């Protein structure tokens, strides 16, 4: 059983006999004091060496079936750890039904991926891209021994694993690379956008257009903030001191292929997990941080630009006039109550886009702490 | 008590002489397609095996007078716990390129010497072990390829076949699970398959796994590969689920399964 603990509690536990012998050095988060810290699983405490090990693993293409693909292949730093494709492509060329989500501030996600209500730990999620075979992403199912050999033979891993997991008799395990990658991803945190600087008192950090866009974003007229609210601009947010499990899945009226709200069968959202008809087309609202650099949009990359995303919401659901998925999402019986449609002038649209662009944090897109160690 | 202990000791020494002694008992499985035995890499087959792996649990024998008797398995480091076995027919050859060279086609266990006329087992991993951390699990639950990470449980059954221009695969496991990974409270569609074979003499008879039952012939002739990954959204699951005796909507037993049966001896 995994429990989330705050670093403060962790520090207390470190003092106890149970933890004294097996503790790693405590990790120092580079997060402003007015912001909450991410939760960290009790059985995978943070440490500098583990995070650095995780960064190397994250960028290591030898963790794929044909040495072509690393985690970073679909999670590119310059694109806020997305890949710019509508739908991601695995090591063997297989097309994923959905697009790669941004990893920025994933440490604060109460649930992971687009619509998996079961996944709340990065340690569990990391297994799917590495070992999943439907679709093949990195394609390492059944190749656990090959991975363990790599961990022994690579001098850097051979050196770092015992340091990152000092209590383990045999630290060269799949479990430990999963824990290391999760720890690295947990550090990819962004609170340095112009909007954050504006919030901290720098009135010049965003221009007047973005300020007007902010008013629109947080208005009842546009309703954006109901799903994209809070410090991480998504209602599926948690943190170290959170005492409520906040999780939201929403049907945004993107599809309605059968006049009864159906989504394309390979992308039914939460319905695929629960089997409840009411969960058809319900997906997690992604964070809007760095949204300007993560095109194309929506779970399947079927909307090319932010401008089109706004048009779909303004219309109260997307209309697909032709093609295999034709239908009027506005008339979906499963659509969120917040997708009601709105009128927007051209000037207001420019303002709203300016606000969304002010959520881009250039620091996280280029921070060497998150960059490819093999191209240094 | 002492006498009982003594008799037990004696029995381990001279197994055959004691009426309640446990004797080793193996049960063999073989994959077929319409009666033809399938093996990975056998290029002559018109229907090629691409995958067949599954977990067997809750194993019982039926005595001549109708009593159900548990059949404990011999725990080992690869394939079996005392109440759970992993059968693996893919050898990494031919179209089974997603697999490994290790294969296992027998259940190895024990039974007291009695007349048995039937076999009962479940294709699936028991709930308590199905949702535990696969990276900490003992064999045979350490099989990475059998864990369904995003569904927070195991694939109970992986089966696949292909013809020259068509194919089908099935991944069967629990869906509609509630809670979060490693703290799953229940699953609305358990999708465990109960197999009840009568007129089956354990140790002598062989269990056939007939993959033809999973696909209507027509499905293999339309040139469009289909698959079922147990999702309630997949209409392609309806007929293979029915063949497994499962209701696709509820994931519960609805009829008797057709896929596992006694091999007819010619």
Which of B98, B149, B176 has the CB atom closest to A124's CB atom?
A: B149
Q: What is the mean pLDDT of residues B88-100?
A: 86
Q: Which pLDDT band holds residue B171 (cuts at 50, 70, 90)?
A: very high
Contact list, B172 vs chain A (CB under 8 Å): none
A93: left (phi over 0), alpha (psi -120 to 50) or beta: left
Q: Shortest Cα distance from B62 to chain A (angstroms)?
A: 36
| A188-209 pLDDT tens trace | 999 999 999 999 999 999 999 9
Instruction: Decide if A1 and B98 are in contact by the 8 Å CB cutoff.
Output: no
Instruction: Decide if B181 and A275 are in contact by the 8 Å CB cutoff.
Output: no
Q: Which helix (H) or strand (E) holds B162?
A: strand B157-162
Is the pLDDT at A127 greater than 70? The verdict is: yes
Which of B99, B182, B231 has the CB atom closest to A272's CB atom?
A: B231
Is the pLDDT at B133 greater than 80? The verdict is: yes
Q: What is the mean pLDDT of residues A75-79?
A: 98
pTM of the model: 0.88
Listed range (A19-23, A119-123, A233-237) with the worst mean pLDDT: A19-23
Is the pLDDT at A41 greater than 70? The verdict is: yes
In chain A the domains, ranked by start, together with CATH numbers, are 4-190+366-375 (1.10.760.10), 194-362 (1.10.760.10)
> Which tokens belong to A327?
């239908």
The more confident residue out of B232 and A111 is A111
pLDDT of residue B218: 65
> Which tokens belong to B110?
């024990």
| A171-190 pLDDT tens trace | 999 999 999 999 999 999 99
pLDDT of residue A7: 43
Give the closest residue to A70 by CA, choosing from A85, A87, A84, A55.
A55
> Which tokens belong to A284?
């997690």
CB atoms within 10 A of CB A48: 16
Instruction: Decide if A271 and B233 are in contact by the 8 Å CB cutoff.
Output: yes
Is the pLDDT at A153 greater than 50? The verdict is: yes
How far apart, in whole angstroms, are the C-alpha atoms of residue A159 and residue A119?
A: 31
Is the pLDDT at A16 greater than 80? The verdict is: no
Non-local (6+) Cβ contacts of A64 within 8 A are A70, A91, A138, A139, A140
Looking at the DSSP bridge assignments, the partners of residue B161 are B49, B168
How far apart, in whole angstroms, are the C-alpha atoms of residue A237 and residue B75?
A: 44
Q: What percent of chain A has pLDDT over 70?
A: 93
End-to-end CA distance of chain A, in Å? 39
Q: Which pLDDT band holds residue B20 (cuts at 50, 70, 90)?
A: low
Give the closest residue to B227 by CA, choosing from B237, B217, B239.
B237
Non-local (6+) Cβ contacts of B102 within 8 A are B78, B88, B91
Looking at the DSSP bridge assignments, the partners of residue B108 are B26
Is the pLDDT at B72 greater than 70? The verdict is: yes
pLDDT of residue A18: 28
Q: What is the mean pLDDT of residues A166-173?
A: 96
Q: Which pLDDT band holds residue B222 (cuts at 50, 70, 90)?
A: confident
Q: What is the mean pLDDT of residues B140-151?
A: 91
Q: Shortest Cα distance from B112 to chain A (angstroms)?
A: 37
Pairing of strands B206-210, B22-33: parallel
Residue positions counted in chain B: 266
Residues A203, A358 contacting (CB under 8 angstroms): no
Which of A119, A178, A274 has the CB atom closest to B181's CB atom?
A: A119
Q: What is the DSSP string of B46-110?
A: SSEEEEEEEEEEEEEEEETTS-EEE--B---SSSEETTEEEEE---S-TT-TTS-S--B-EEEEE
Q: What is the mean pLDDT of residues B37-60?
A: 91
Give the closest residue to A281 by CA, choosing from A261, A308, A301.
A261
Task: Write the DSSP symbol of residue B38.
Answer: P
Which of A41, A118, A247 is best to mutate for the B interface (most B CBs within 10 A)? Answer: A118
Q: Which residues of B touch A (CB under 8 A)?
A: 98-100, 134-136, 142-145, 147, 149-152, 171, 175-177, 179-184, 188-189, 227, 229, 231-235, 249
Q: Specify the residue for token string 């005796």.
A: B245
How far apart, in whole angstroms, are the C-alpha atoms of residue A376 and residue A201?
A: 36
pLDDT of residue A326: 97
Non-local (6+) Cβ contacts of A322 within 8 A are none
pLDDT of residue A251: 98
Instruction: Decide if A116 and B150 are in contact by the 8 Å CB cutoff.
Output: yes
Give the closest residue to A127 by CA, choosing from A141, A117, A115.
A141
Instruction: Decide if B149 and A132 are in contact by the 8 Å CB cutoff.
Output: yes
Non-local (6+) Cβ contacts of B16 within 8 A are B23, B113
């Amino acid at each position: 059983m995994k429990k989330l603990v705050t670093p403060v509690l962790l520090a207390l536990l470190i003092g106890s006999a149970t933890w004294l012998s097996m503790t790693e050095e405590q990790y120092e988060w580079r997060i402003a004091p007015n912001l909450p810290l991410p939760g960290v699983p009790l059985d995978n405490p943070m440490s500098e060496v583990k995070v650095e090990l995780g960064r190397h693993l994250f960028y290591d293409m030898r963790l794929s079936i044909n040495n072509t693909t690393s985690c970073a292949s679909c999670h590119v730093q310059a694109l806020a750890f997305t890949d710019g494709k509508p739908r991601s492509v695995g090591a063997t060329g297989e097309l994923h039904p959905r697009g790669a989500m941004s990893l920025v501030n994933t440490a604060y996600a109460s649930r992971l991926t687009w619509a998996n209500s079961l996944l709340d730990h990065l340690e569990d999620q990391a297994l799917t891209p590495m070992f999943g075979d439907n679709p093949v992403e990195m394609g390492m199912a059944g190749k656990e021994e090959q991975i363990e050999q790599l961990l022994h033979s690579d001098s850097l891993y051979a050196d770092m694993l015992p340091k990152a997991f000092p209590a383990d008799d045999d630290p060269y395990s799949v479990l430990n690379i999963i824990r290391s990658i999760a720890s690295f991803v947990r550090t990819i945190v962004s609170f340095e956008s112009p909007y954050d600087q504006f919030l901290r008192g720098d009135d010049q950090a965003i221009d007047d257009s973005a300020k007007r866009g902010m008013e629109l974003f947080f208005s009842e007229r546009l309703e954006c903030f109901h799903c994209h609210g809070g410090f991480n601009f998504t209602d599926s947010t948690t943190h170290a001191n959170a005492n409520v499990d906040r999780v939201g899945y929403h049907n945004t009226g993107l599809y309605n292929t059968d006049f009864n709200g159906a989504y394309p069968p390979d992308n039914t959202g939460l319905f695929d997990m629960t089997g409840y008809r009411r969960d058809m087309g319900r997906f997690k609202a992604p964070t809007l941080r760095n949204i300007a650099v993560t095109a194309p949009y929506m779970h399947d990359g079927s909307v090319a630009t932010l401008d089109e995303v706004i048009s779909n919401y303004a219309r109260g659901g997307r209309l697909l006039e032709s093609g295999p998925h034709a239908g009027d999402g506005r008339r979906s019986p499963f659509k969120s109550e917040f997708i009601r449609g709105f009128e927007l002038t051209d000037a207001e649209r420019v303002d709203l886009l300016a606000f969304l662009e002010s959520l881009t944090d250039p620091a996280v897109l280029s921070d060497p702490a998150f960059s490819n160690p093999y191209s240094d | 008590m002492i006498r009982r202990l003594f008799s037990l000791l004696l029995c381990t020494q001279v197994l055959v002489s004691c009426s309640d002694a446990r004797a080793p008992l193996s049960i063999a499985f073989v994959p077929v397609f319409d009666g033809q035995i399938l093996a990975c890499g056998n290029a002559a087959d018109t229907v090629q095996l691409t995958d067949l792996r599954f977990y067997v649990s809750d194993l019982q024998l039926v005595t001549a007078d109708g009593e159900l008797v548990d059949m404990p398995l011999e725990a080992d480091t690869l394939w079996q716990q005392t109440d759970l076995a992993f059968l693996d027919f893919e050898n990494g050859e031919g179209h089974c390129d997603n697999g490994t060279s290790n294969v296992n086609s027998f259940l190895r266990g024990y039974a007291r010497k009695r007349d048995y006329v039937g076999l009962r087992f479940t294709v699936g991993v028991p709930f308590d072990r199905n949702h535990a951390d696969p990276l900490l699990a003992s064999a045979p639950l350490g099989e990475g390829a059998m864990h369904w990470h995003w569904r927070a449980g195991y694939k109970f059954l992986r089966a696949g076949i292909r013809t020259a221009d068509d194919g089908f695969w099935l991944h069967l496991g629990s869906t509609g699970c509630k809670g979060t990974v490693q703290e799953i409270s229940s699953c609305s569609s358990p999708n465990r398959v109960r197999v009840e074979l009568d007129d089956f003499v354990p140790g002598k008879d062989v269990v056939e796994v007939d993959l033809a039952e999973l696909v209507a012939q027509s499905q293999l002739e339309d040139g469009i590969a289909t698959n079922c990954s147990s999702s309630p959204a997949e209409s392609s699951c309806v007929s293979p689920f029915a063949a497994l005796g499962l209701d696709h909507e509820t994931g519960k037993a609805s009829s008797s399964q057709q896929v596992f049966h006694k091999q007819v001896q010619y």
